[in-house]
């Protein structure tokens, strides 16, 4: 199975819509510092400075300043899991982005949405991949 960063998917979506957060999307997994995340709009990518975290006012990690890493299959499974969760909650899927991540982070359960590992056990690159998949699910872009 081929493994590649899925950050390219988010970057392509940003280019297609002409949006730019102005923040770099690469960096090391060094120490993390909390920062605020940008406002969510269709196909907007949540970003954080290299090595930093984007944390919402509600205390939910919504961006990780490390390139996302997952296989194509893992990405699809994580996106599908997020979409199923968001659809079950009802309402507008985009409005379920942060609550979905909050649920993953507070329950710390393992499942397809977190590549079979609890959120707290994921590397920054894997947490970033979960967030990218959740963004795609919120924008109905799982494929």
3-52 pLDDT per residue, tens? 444 443 343 333 333 333 333 333 333 333 333 333 333 345 677 778 88
The Cα-based distances of 121 to 116, 117, 137 in angstroms read: 10, 6, 22
pLDDT at 123 over 60: yes
- pTM, rounded to two decimals: 0.69
Residue 31: CB atoms within 10 A of its CB come to 7
Q: Nearest CA to 94 among 28, 44, 60?
A: 44
* Percent of residues, the chain, with pLDDT higher than 70: 69
Longest dimension (CA), the chain: 38
> Average pLDDT for residues 77-93, to the nearest whole number?
96
Q: Which of 71, 81, 66 is nearest to 33 (CA)?
A: 66
Assess whether pLDDT exceeds 60 at residue 119.
yes
Tokens at 77, concatenated: 């499974």
The yes-or-no verdict on residue 57 having pLDDT over 50 is: yes
Q: How high is the pLDDT of residue 50?
A: 84
Average pLDDT (94-112) is 94
CA separation for the pair 142, 87 (Å, rounded): 13
Predicted pLDDT at 67:
94
Instruction: Give the mean pLDDT of the chain.
Output: 76
């Amino acid at each position: 199975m081929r493994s590649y960063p899925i950050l390219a998917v988010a970057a392509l979506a940003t280019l297609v819509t002409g949006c730019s957060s102005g923040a770099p999307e690469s960096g090391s997994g060094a120490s993390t510092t909390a920062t605020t995340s940008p406002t969510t709009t269709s196909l907007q990518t949540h970003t954080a400075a290299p090595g930093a975290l984007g944390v919402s006012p509600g205390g939910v990690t919504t961006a990780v300043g490390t390139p996302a890493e997952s296989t194509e299959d893992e990405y699809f499974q994580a996106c599908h899991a997020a979409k199923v969760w968001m659809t079950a909650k009802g309402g507008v899927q985009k409005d379920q982005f942060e609550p979905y991540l909050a649920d993953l982070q507070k329950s710390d359960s393992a499942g397809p949405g977190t590549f079979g590992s609890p959120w707290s056990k994921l590397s920054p690159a894997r947490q970033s991949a979960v967030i990218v998949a959740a963004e795609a699910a919120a924008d109905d872009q799982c494929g």
